[in-house]
Amino acid sequence: MKILVSVENDINLEALKNKLCAVISSFDQSELYIDVFHVHSPPDIQRVGKDKELVDEINKNEFSTKLRMISKCENELEAFIQEKLGIDALVNSFVLKGDYKEKLKEHIIFQRYDLLVLNPTKKKDYDVILKGRNTHWVIDNLEIPVLILPSYIDYSFNGSSDVTCFVDSLESFNSINQANVLNMFKSEIVDYIHFGKDSFHEKVRIINSSNPLQSISEYTKDDEHLNIYTLHHKRQGDFLNLLDKSFTKHILKSLGNPLLIF
């Protein structure tokens, strides 16, 4: 299994390691390869003469700092996974220069990953995070499952996470249940939940509710355990429209956990 972790900077790196470890311990995989990915975009400043030399030196030093940050992240992640989980995982780093979207698309097409992990650092609201120009572009344009691990979610590793899939009908259950990304997780931790009164499949747990949308909002408030919630998206370039639907809004309303989008 190959995972690409897109890291913006070293803010809350410790929390990222804890969350990644919880996610990784939930996989039903014997081999694990993790690549840490960062795109450095130098400021577009035009200078001449001595000013140009100064700007070039500043850009060079900034890029060197990025290299050291990613290298540190790589080493700490590998050691953390081996220490906490007792499994061998190979962690590599990629630091590229240029446009983030362009470099990410090229990299994913060439390398072929099973999962992309995004670690937004500046936003503290899921609706804002998912509408960010890079995030929704990634979801709409790259054929890869995306796991959002916001930096503001603090977590101390105490075991594996669970995966919760909200379904509203037999059709949605069948569609989600057939997704390849869920096969990466241990089957016993994947939970299908329907808020309502009628059962339509033996694998779906029914939570009695007269107001399903409100119940979903209440359910996602519990962030004591690192539960991964899922959002099923058919990748037709309309992710922003999906975010405006009532069902999606209620999932995101008070969400303080990782979100898997596929």
Per-residue pLDDT tens digits for 202-239:
999 999 988 888 888 888 875 566 789 999 986 667 88
The closest of 143, 124, 145, 142 to 134, measured between CA atoms, is 142
Rg (CA), the chain: 20
Domain boundary among 98, 119, 148: 148
Shared-domain flag, residues 243 and 211: yes
Shared-domain flag, residues 173 and 242: yes
User: How would you class 213 by CB atoms within 10 Å of its CB: exposed for 0-12, middle for 13-18, buried for 19 or more?
Assistant: middle
Q: What is the mean pLDDT of each run of 10 residues along the chain (262 residues)?
A: 84 75 85 87 61 69 77 82 82 88 91 91 81 88 91 74 91 93 93 91 92 85 76 80 87 86 94
CA atoms of 193 and 133, how far apart (whole Å):
31
Shared-domain flag, residues 105 and 233: no
Q: What is the DSSP letter of 187?
A: G
Shared-domain flag, residues 19 and 140: yes
Shared-domain flag, residues 139 and 207: no
Shared-domain flag, residues 200 and 128: no
Domain boundary among 125, 148, 171: 148
Asked if residue 157 is part of any domain, the answer here is no
Shared-domain flag, residues 57 and 79: yes
User: What pTM was computed for the model?
Assistant: 0.87
Shared-domain flag, residues 134 and 211: no
Domain boundary among 126, 148, 170: 148
CB atoms within 10 A of CB 187: 9
Asked if residue 142 is part of any domain, the answer here is yes
Shared-domain flag, residues 54 and 15: yes
Asked if residue 156 is part of any domain, the answer here is no
Q: Please report the pLDDT score of residue 223 as a whole number.
A: 56
Beta-carbon contacts of 34 under 8 Å, excluding residues fewer than 6 positions away, are 2, 3, 4, 5, 20, 77, 78, 81, 89, 90, 91, 92
User: Residues 189, 190, 196, 197: is their CA dihedral positive or negative?
Assistant: negative
Shared-domain flag, residues 144 and 195: no
Domain that holds residue 72: 2-148
Q: How many domains does the chain have?
A: 2
Shared-domain flag, residues 137 and 185: no
Shared-domain flag, residues 139 and 36: yes
Q: Please report the pLDDT score of residue 145 as a whole number.
A: 95
Q: Please report the pLDDT score of residue 10 as a whole number.
A: 62
Beta-carbon contacts of 86 under 8 Å, excluding residues fewer than 6 positions away, are none
CATH number for the domain that contains residue 91: 3.40.50.620
Token pair for residue 199? 């059962």
CATH number for the domain that contains residue 216: 3.40.50
Edge-first strand order for the sheet with 2-6 is: 89-97, 32-40, 2-6, 115-118, 146-148, 259-261, 227-231, 162-166, 190-196, 204-208
